[in-house]
Amino acid sequence: MSGTPDLQEHVRRAKEAGKLVVQPRMGFAAPEEMALGLRAVARARATTIGTITLDSYTRVGDHVGARRALGAGHPLNGYPIVAHGAHLTEAVAAYAVDDRTPGAEPIPVQVRHGSANPRAIFRTAIMAGLTASEGGPVSYCLPYGRTPLAESVRNWDAAVVELADGAGERGARAHLETFGGCMLGQLCPPSLLIALSVLEGLFFAQRGIPTVSLSYAQQTNPVQDVEALAALRLLAGEVLPSHVDWHVVLYTYMGVFPRTAGGAGRLLDASAELAVRGGAERLIVKTAVEADRIPTVPENIAALERAARVADLATRTVSAVPWAADADCSELLDEARALVAAVADGGDVGKALVRAFAAGVLDVPFCLHRDNLGLTRTRIDDDGRLRWAHTGRLPLPAPARSDGRIGAHRLLSMLRFTADGHDRAALRERTPRALPADRPYRVAVVGSGPRGLAVLERLAARLIADPPDGPVEIHLYDPVEVGCGRIWRTDQPPWFLMNTVAGEVTMFSGPPDGGPARPGAGPSLAQWWQETDPACPGPNGYAPRPLYGRYLRFLLDTVERSLPPRVTLVRRRTEVVDLVPDQGGYLLRAADGESLRADRVVLVTGHPRPSLDSAQQRLADFAADRPELLYIRGDSASDMPLDRVPAGAKVGVLGLGLSFYDVMVALTIGRGGRFEEDGGALRYLPSGAEPVIVAGSRSGVPIPARGRNQKPSRYAYRPRVFTADRVRALRRAGRIDFRAEVLPLLTAEMELVYYATEIRGRFGEDVAERFAAEAAADPASIESLAAHFGVADLPRLDLDALSRPFAGRGFAGREEFTAALLDLIDDDLRHAEQGNVDGPVKAACDVLRDTRGVLRLAVDYAGLTPGSHRGDFLSWFTPLASFLAAGPPLLRLRQTRALIESGVLVVVGPSVTFDADPASGRFTAVSPQVEGARIELDAMIDARIPAPHLDRDLAPLPSRLREAGLWTGYVNTHGDERFETGGVAVTGAPFHPVRRDGRPETGLHVLGIPTEHTRWFTQVGSGRPGSWGEFVRDADAIAAGLMSGLPATDRADRADKAERAGELL
């Protein structure tokens, strides 16, 4: 007896050939019918595996009942393997070969059963040469029956050992697929499915099963499902022993199925695409009729062939679904890892599972089994993702948003979420819309900077994947330049540069794929720049801002060209000055007098021009009274009236950050000056039209350069100490004190990188890796560990000293200070030249950039106490982090040096005060740490980016939204403490503003800078190649929200509650 072929090997070969393996859930009582079914599966135009699904008598061990039913001719809902016996079953399984293709190999056959005690089933199967099956001690116990979990574990323990040994004795490799990735079929958050799947896989491996497959069932949101498949793969790699051979199997949706054939077909198609994009090797399909009756053989074959066709196409079509490699699965992975870690302690996972459920460390939402505590609940978010509503005693952070009880009707709509969505989509496809043809669905995007364009890009990708059947209008507003916005407008001078290298910038949500550029697949800024400009310096070059503006406009043109029929883009170069709710939508009024009625509005208004604070106002007023003086307020440098600064005038510049460099360059290169290479340094050749720039800040140091970039475009840093896990644990424990709880982790991470970089330079990669591993295990002793590794001579990494190098120092005069500053700049240039991978200082500072996502987890939506948020974080840490990690290109520091030497630039010193002196009628600058006369000035420029603050934003639209109670300021409250942050209060994705009455305004979305302080570091102007970061995910969540507003047809809407309930009652 040879048995059927090895399942795992079959899957491996298919993967090599680029084919998705598809498999039915097929089972018939009659041996002849079962045999012919297997043959049809083998003949199908697809790469298949055969299935023998058992009946429910056999499932519960009632083999006598099965025989009796067979004898009486009563129908069974599957193949009674024990009743039919091994001999007959072997003959049936032998039909699993494509007899019409000469030389075709038989296909593997898997036994599917659903039994909490599969011993007899496995025994018969082995004797019949069938060594592949599925299930699990948890997944075939908790959802269905009353068998105590401990008993199920004992049953499975014996059965699995017997299967492993029995197959081995026959020279075959047993295969078991977990059912843990499905559980109740729906409404289980993906992280728990992943964890259960991996734990059951480990249970099988510990009992000698050599080949395993890990299941995951399609849920409610395709992007989340891709993330889940990616996380499942990573976690299985971490947890399963290396000698086990495994693959990932996806189940087509296992919950309430669409009622229309069109909807069911779409759901099947979506699962095939998900399998391919998510990297699953095998797909178990469902047919449209499954909910009502046992599907026939032709129905099964049709589903298999359809899935195979879609899978082939999925590699080539535009899709709203990302590839696993582009999905950011860190959140799911962290959650699933925490669950597995809390269960698997290295011992027997069987006993551990029983303990875990008893303690509520594992707890399946809505599961009624008495061994399941039942303290957890799931909810479906506005973006369609499954999230925890209650985490019970799971080792996971409490949900960020608590929204109370899940009631009966909410449960019903969640159960029907997928079915209804697909039915609606199918109906839309066929039926004319209910709305009159002259009433399109209108989306207004207010602001066409990167945030607005990112939403448009994702909206377009989704509209292409799921074309609407009625007209859709997208109105894109921008008062300055439609397609790039004010900050990136294309008519600004080319000497203003971006602060991110071109290779790290993209506005397409997926890489180019050989086809035409389109939403979801297009070039990064560097790729586009290289194609369009022979002078492009490569991916590590810093692009001029107007060039990025042109790239943004290229994106918008590409989006517009790609829109499906009936979707139109309207570009409106005007400012939206008013917005009022109107008949379920909004009435927008623009500065040019035109009005628009929109169904949904995305508010992405970007950098504000807030009113001046009192100190600024005093200086402005001082200049206003004196025509010979000039005061220029803080703004984007290209919008400052810098032409008005006279040649030869002394102009004070407050702030030595990124804007300072813009002002500096505008007043030198912009005035006709040039820089020339001169013996390794730069020399400035003045034009004579420059003013004298007198600059200063609190630190007295121009913000240091970013290290020469040595990181590849798709680089992603994996923290070892400052991990998302640790931060989530902090959040779970309550409000966070930044200085006491977060900072030590972050500095340890920086120190780790600092020393590891030095060690790598001196002793090689292996030693550095060993150091890093030991340091991660004991973050408190990194310094002494570093000494032990032979780098005791490296100066300590002192963030305060790095960010305030002149603190506490006095200088006898300007010359002494300038000499010290030039030394400091030379030092910085040396560090920057070493690069952000090879230079210890710059590599350590880059940690601040690379872990922004982790920091957001601690800070966003009031993670910190109000006091710590305002004091530690915003007043102290944020400026420090900007100083150390947000530096300009290295070139700017070389230019600064040259300008100081030429006398065009004077840096006043630390702790500078700029003031107005009524006696002399001039502005003044003085540093208390540098001896000598104060400097009198003819003009003042505030070169600090104005901090956004809702109450101080005087633009018409924010004022109106505030007055109408549609926008409110976000207040961080904790006990008696209150911190009014000044950011617009928004919900989690898809970011609805929170109204004055505390409810979300669900027709509006707010993204980017207006929400700063509710969320942190929103001033991001581009996505990054590689996995979807928050920039793309946030935009996509809003795009999904906009799609959900597409009008449904009246037929889909008519699915009244009674009918829906009827299926469950």
- Binding residues (CB under 8 A) for other proteins: these are 56, 143-146, 184, 256, 293, 366-370, 406-408, 411-412, 415, 1057-1059, 1061-1065
Q: Which amino acid is at 257?
A: F
Choose between 411 and 716: whose C-beta lies nearer to other proteins: 411
- Cα separation, 176 vs 203, whole angstroms: 10
Q: Which amino acid is at 28?
A: F
Nearest distance from residue 407's CB to other proteins, in Å?
6
Bridge partners, 178 (sequence order): 135
Choose between 408 and 580: whose C-beta lies nearer to other proteins: 408
Choose between 292 and 793: whose C-beta lies nearer to other proteins: 292
- Cα separation, 635 vs 948, whole angstroms: 11
Choose between 75 and 903: whose C-beta lies nearer to other proteins: 75
Nearest distance from residue 32's CB to other proteins, in Å?
23
Nearest distance from residue 375's CB to other proteins, in Å?
14
Residues with Cβ within 8 Å of residue 247, at least 6 apart in sequence? 8, 11, 12, 15, 213, 214, 280, 281, 282
Q: Count of H helices and E strands in the chain?
A: 35, 33
Nearest distance from residue 259's CB to other proteins, in Å?
13
Nearest distance from residue 1064's CB to other proteins, in Å?
4
Choose between 62 and 936: whose C-beta lies nearer to other proteins: 62
Residues with Cβ within 8 Å of residue 30, at least 6 apart in sequence? none
Q: Residue 1003, Cα to own-chain centre: how many angstroms? A: 23
Residues with Cβ within 8 Å of residue 198, at least 6 apart in sequence? 178, 180, 214, 232, 235, 236, 239, 240, 336, 340
Q: What is the three-state SS of 506-529?
A: ECCCCCCCCCCCECCECCCHHHHH
Nearest distance from residue 406's CB to other proteins, in Å?
7
Nearest distance from residue 787's CB to other proteins, in Å?
60
Choose between 77 and 315: whose C-beta lies nearer to other proteins: 77
Nearest distance from residue 17's CB to other proteins, in Å?
39
Nearest distance from residue 416's CB to other proteins, in Å?
11
Report whether 456 contacts 559 (CB < 8 A).
yes
Bridge partners, 675 (sequence order): 684
Nearest distance from residue 560's CB to other proteins, in Å?
45
Choose between 419 and 753: whose C-beta lies nearer to other proteins: 419
Pull the structure tokens for residue 962: 């505030």
Burial state string for 952-968 with b = 16 or more CB within 10 A and e = fewer than 16: bbeeebbbbbbeeebbb
- Cα separation, 79 vs 720, whole angstroms: 51
**Cα angle 845, 660, 495; round to 5:** 100
Choose between 141 and 844: whose C-beta lies nearer to other proteins: 141
Choose between 143 and 805: whose C-beta lies nearer to other proteins: 143
Choose between 405 and 718: whose C-beta lies nearer to other proteins: 405
Q: What are phi and psi of 640, to 5 degrees?
A: -85, 140
Report whether 173 contacts 8 (CB < 8 A).
yes
Region at 43 (left for phi over 0; alpha for psi -120 to 50; beta for the rest): alpha
Choose between 6 and 290: whose C-beta lies nearer to other proteins: 290
Torsion angle (degrees, nearest 10) of CA 132, 134, 136, 141:
-130
Nearest distance from residue 27's CB to other proteins, in Å?
16
Nearest distance from residue 413's CB to other proteins, in Å?
11
Choose between 999 and 1057: whose C-beta lies nearer to other proteins: 1057
Nearest distance from residue 380's CB to other proteins, in Å?
15
- Cα separation, 356 vs 198, whole angstroms: 15
Eight-class DSSP state of 64: H
* H runs (alpha helix) in 466-606: 525-532, 545-562
Nearest distance from residue 39's CB to other proteins, in Å?
28
Choose between 145 and 686: whose C-beta lies nearer to other proteins: 145
Nearest distance from residue 145's CB to other proteins, in Å?
5
Choose between 366 and 529: whose C-beta lies nearer to other proteins: 366
How many CB atoms neighbour CB 430 within 10 A? Answer: 11
- Cα separation, 931 vs 61, whole angstroms: 94
Q: Residue 569, Cα to own-chain centre: how many angstroms? A: 27
Pull the structure tokens for residue 868: 């710590």
- Cα separation, 489 vs 486, whole angstroms: 5
- Cα separation, 225 vs 219, whole angstroms: 7
Pull the structure tokens for residue 825: 């700049």
Choose between 415 and 463: whose C-beta lies nearer to other proteins: 415
Report whether 663 contacts 642 (CB < 8 A).
yes
Strands of 148-270, DSSP E: 175-178, 211-217, 245-251
- Cα separation, 455 vs 576, whole angstroms: 18
Nearest distance from residue 1017's CB to other proteins, in Å?
41
**What is the chain's alpha carbon radius of gyration, rounded to the nearest angstrom?**
32
- Give the sign of the dihedral formed by CA 537, CA 543, CA 549, CA 551: positive
- Cα separation, 227 vs 1028, whole angstroms: 10
Report whether 487 contacts 548 (CB < 8 A).
no
Choose between 143 and 479: whose C-beta lies nearer to other proteins: 143
Nearest distance from residue 1058's CB to other proteins, in Å?
4
Reported as half-sphere exposure (CB side, CA atoms, 13 A), residue 663 has a value of 34
Choose between 295 and 395: whose C-beta lies nearer to other proteins: 295
Residue 744 preceded by cis peptide, ω within 30: no
Report whether 90 contacts 12 (CB < 8 A).
no
Choose between 411 and 767: whose C-beta lies nearer to other proteins: 411
Nearest distance from residue 156's CB to other proteins, in Å?
18
